[in-house]
């Protein structure tokens, strides 16, 4: 069976993760992705090794973000190298880059330069802060976007210092938005024949992740707060079991499943308890219910299943 992007060629001039993983997602769907690196400026991801015992020169980080791609070395700073890239661009559907604003233009590889040789090209930029505003030319990295985007202000307990997710959350979300933007632009081109420039920023991805929090703030004027586990929803929480392992409960429709949960935990006497038998009641008495569930799960190994 043919993959959906077979026949689409992508010229990938990205490094590190955001733009690079976005291009890998296109390759996963069958696109012919050509990774371009400079002779004296390879992708720094090639040098990242996060584990002992890896073979020399093997970087799982680089391999994960550049799977299914072909590779070429071109010196974009040299006039002949630039001509090579323009010739490639003339038969390319998508050009992806994550250079700081203005750098591609100085190299003669901006949107107008590529559109001059290929009026149908999709020009995709993975940026730090977007294409507008006073910070558009500033560089950024994953941890900076997690901080600036507000994610680090809502993760953890109220007394914890800010900390970032242990994965490239801003990079990966930015990559997914970039791949989405490219797909929409390709669809638009199929309908109209028009080229487009697409910009997806690390900051924009982090803001998009928090649309619910932002909506609450706009409606109430109250910014989201960190909460200790004991003040969260009892049925949207985590509990430690007798064997030291943790499990989570995720029951957004708690009223529907409350009686069944009580039966599974052999807490049938709580099924009709007015303190806990509705979402509002559980919210008002969350600490009390969490204490009950803490005690019950502390007597059950996670591997045994509940109710014996």
The catalytic site residues sit at 171
19, 100 contact by CB (below 8 A): no
Give the separation between CA 57 and CA 55, rounded to whole angstroms: 6
- Give alpha helix (H) positions in the chain: 18-28, 60-65, 79-90, 103-106, 111-117, 142-148, 169-192, 202-209, 211-220, 254-264, 279-284, 286-298
Could you give the CA distance from residue 64 to residue 78 in angstroms, rounded to a whole number?
A: 30
- CA–CA distance, 8 with 26 (Å, rounded to integer): 9
Distance CA 64, CA 53 (A): 18
Cα 136 from Cα 115, distance rounded (Å)? 22
3-state secondary structure of 246: strand
In angstroms, the CA 177 to CA 200 distance is 6
Q: Measure the CA–CA gap between 122 and 93, rounded to whole angstroms.
A: 6
Which residues are CB-neighbours of 292 under 8 A, at least 6 positions away?
A: 267, 270
Give every CB contact of residue 190 below 8 A, 6+ residues apart in sequence. Answer: none
């Amino acid at each position: 069976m043919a993959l959906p992007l077979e026949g689409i060629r992508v010229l990938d001039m990205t490094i590190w993760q955001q733009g690079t993983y976005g291009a890998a997602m296109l390759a996963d769907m069958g696109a012919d992705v050509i990774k371009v690196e400079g002779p004296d400026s390879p992708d720094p991801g090639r040098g990242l090794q996060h584990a002992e015992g890896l073979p020399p020169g093997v970087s799982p980080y680089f391999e994960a973000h550049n799977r299914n791609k072909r590779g070429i070395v071109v010196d974009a700073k040299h006039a002949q190298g630039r001509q090579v890239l323009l010739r490639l661009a003339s038969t390319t559907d998508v050009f992806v880059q994550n250079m700081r604003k203005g750098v591609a233009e100085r190299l003669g590889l901006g949107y107008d330069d590529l559109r001059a040789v290929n009026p149908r090209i999709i020009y995709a930029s993975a940026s730090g802060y977007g294409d507008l505003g006073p910070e558009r030319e500033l560089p950024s990295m994953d941890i900076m976007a997690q901080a600036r985007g507000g994610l680090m202000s809502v993760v953890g307990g109220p007394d914890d210092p800010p900390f970032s997710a242990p994965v490239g959350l801003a990079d990966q979300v930015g990559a997914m938005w970039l791949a989405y933007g490219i797909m929409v632009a390709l669809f638009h081109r199929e309908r109209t024949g028009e080229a487009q420039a697409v910009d997806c920023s690390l900051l924009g991805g982090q803001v998009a992740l928090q649309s619910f929090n932002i909506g609450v703030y706009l409606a109430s004027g109250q910014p989201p707060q960190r909460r200790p586990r004991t003040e969260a929803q009892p049925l949207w929480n985590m509990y430690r079991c007798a064997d030291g392992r943790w499990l989570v409960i995720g029951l957004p429709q708690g009223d529907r499943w409350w009686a069944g949960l009580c039966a599974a935990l052999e807490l049938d006497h709580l099924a009709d308890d007015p303190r806990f038998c509705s979402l509002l009641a559980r919210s008002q008495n969350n600490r009390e219910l969490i204490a009950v569930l803490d005690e019950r799960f502390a007597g059950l190994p996670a591997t045994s299943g509940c109710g014996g």
